[in-house]
Amino acid sequence: MSQQPPPPGSYGAQPPPGPYGGPPPGSPTPPARPRRRRPRAWWFALPLVMFVAAGTLLVTAFVSALGPLSQQDAVVPADGSAQGVELDDDGPRLLMAPEGQVPPSCQATDAQGEPVDVDAPTASYTYGNGSRSWSGFGVVDPGGDSLELTCSSSAPGATEVRVGPAPAGGAFAGFAVMLVAGIGLGFGGFAVLVLLVVLYASGAPRKPAAG
């Protein structure tokens, strides 16, 4: 009796694939990809340091730029009489009137009795201490530690003039730089913190160090 040859392709044929394109039934399961290890605990110090640096920059920015507004040399009446003012230093002074009132007109002289120009401020300044608010209207640079002011107002009612250090123009440039840097560090620290939390939640626990 003669034997029929096997049909073509029967030798070495691969078993049919499993459902949904998976491995054939009975084939060994491929090893699972190892999970990424969790971040170490000290990694969380990085966002903490960024938050501290951001807070330090923001506080420094506001103190350096707005601190001079909280300092005061004197408050003098704007009644047309000459008022001597002793200054803490020889820097320029900002003249402020009560907010909402018409600013008075002022003439200034230095310690030698020479007239000093009263210029309009290059920026808008407002300061409030909880009970009263002031608005800047003039800047004077006496070049010494004393100043004489003669201020008068055409508005009805008593008007006063507050004298204090004028914020430096460069201070606001530094304020802007530190403000942007502080906000950037704060957002960066938050992003790093979120990333570390995600990596910690999805990562595999670390094996304890061998003792």
| Better pLDDT: 65 or 20 | 65
What's residue 26's pLDDT? Answer: 61
pLDDT at 17 over 90: no
- Of the pLDDT bands very low, low, confident and very high (cuts 50, 70, 90), residue 190 is very high
Rounded to whole angstroms, how far apart are CA atoms 14 and 2? 28
pLDDT confidence bin for 209, thresholds 50/70/90:
low
**pLDDT the model gives residue 127:** 82
In this predicted structure, what is the pLDDT of residue 207?
66
How high is the pLDDT of residue 145?
85
Mean pLDDT on 134-159: 84
pTM for the whole thing? Answer: 0.56
The tens digit of pLDDT for each residue in 167-176 reads: 776 566 677 7
Chain centre to alpha carbon of residue 79: 42
193: CB partners within 8 A, 6+ apart: 44, 47
Minimum mean pLDDT among 14-23, 42-51, 110-119, 125-134: which range? 14-23
Query: Which of 19-33, 43-57, 164-178 has the lowest average pLDDT?
Result: 19-33
Of 9 and 194, the one with more pLDDT: 194
- Residue 163 pLDDT more than 70? yes
**In the numeric block, which tokens belong to residue 138?**
């003039």
Average pLDDT over the chain, rounded to whole? 79
**CB 16, CB 22: distance < 8 Å:** no
pLDDT of residue 129: 74
**Percentage of residues in the chain having pLDDT higher than 90:** 14
For position 9, what pLDDT does the model report? Answer: 53
Residue 58, Cβ density class (10 Å: 0-12 exposed, 13-18 middle, ≥19 buried): middle
Q: Are strands 160-165 and 146-152 parallel, antiparallel or unpaired?
A: unpaired
Amino acid at 46: L
In three-state secondary structure terms, 202 is helix
pLDDT digits (tens, 9 = 90+) for 89-140: 888 888 999 888 888 899 999 888 889 999 888 878 888 777 788 888 999 9
Q: What is the CA angle 113-119-121, rounded to 5? A: 135
